[in-house]
Amino acid sequence: MQKPGLDGAGIGLLIMFTALLGSNQVLIKIMNGAMDPIFQAGLRSAAACVPVILWSLWTGRAFGWYRGEFWPGVLNGILFGIEFWCLFLALDYSSVARISILFYTMPVWLAIASHFTVSGDRLTGRKMAGLVLAVLGVVLSVSSRPDAELGSLFDSNLLRGDILALLGSFCWAGIAWLAKFSTLRQCPPERQLLYQLFVSAIMLLPLAYLGGELLRDFQPVHGAIFAFQVLVVIAFGYTLWFWLLARYSASSVTSFSFLSPTFAVLFGWLILGEQIGLSLISALICLSAGIVLVNMPIKTQAKT
């Protein structure tokens, strides 16, 4: 049964999930130095099928069939493939910070779509204020940092990266909407993830082979990073994401995605040596206030 608001366990899991996603942006950036971005994305999907299938066989959760799930599942996989094609290429063109601010606008698109298409998932004035504060926090976390990669505002590579990141965020919102409001909501999280992995692998691997050189400067450490992405980020992380969407309100769950760019900046400092200034502190204050507003329960007046 879905809960109307987040409890302590949900908040803890969402913070862990957003931290995982934030670290993933940095890891993708590192892996782009070792592999073609599209090949990396497709190979990740193909490799992640194995642990998800093994987990599904052990639990027996992902197998079975629900009427009307096939085509939404295929569409889910297509959106997943496009999302990661966009994200991985975007990180090849620009910095983690710049791409994150656009990619993690996803909750805005999902909340707006849910407002117009789903009764009972409305955007109140308080939630709108919370989303605005969260967006402001993300902007503050990246816009004031000196970053040599950003260069000119009108650099063609930056423009490509911006467009790709925004397209990826639209696809991510579509995936979340399908998982929550289509017939896929009847499917276990593992089977939804398998739709995504199979279809995206079929899409991306042929595209990578058509694009040219698959490996760039692959070292043993890149193998460890790739294994972490497959086992932890995809097999565990996205199964957790679907479970959270099924258990809690979509707008509440996705509002926490605004924490991921902040984690990306933090891990960029720890791993890539990027600088963190006072803008991050201001961003965290705005993000915290936004999350409180979005998840604050709506008070109803008692009838007399």
Has residue 45 got a pLDDT over 90? yes
Over residues 58-112, the pLDDT tens digits come to: 777 656 666 778 888 999 999 999 999 999 999 988 878 778 877 877 877 887 7
At 139-198, the pLDDT tens digits run 776 565 444 444 444 557 777 887 898 899 899 889 988 887 888 877 877 788 889 999
Q: What is the pLDDT of residue 80?
A: 95
User: For residue 289, what pLDDT is reported?
Assistant: 78
Calpha distance 81→58 (Å, rounded): 27
CB 83 within 8 A of CB 168: yes
Q: Which residues pair with 215 in a beta bridge?
A: 35
Which tokens in the block code for residue 173?
């919102």
Question: pLDDT, tens digit, for every residue of 223-250?
Answer: 999 999 988 988 888 778 777 877 787 6
Mean pLDDT of 257-286: 76
Of residues 19 and 280, more confidence is placed in 19
User: Residue 27: what pLDDT?
Assistant: 93
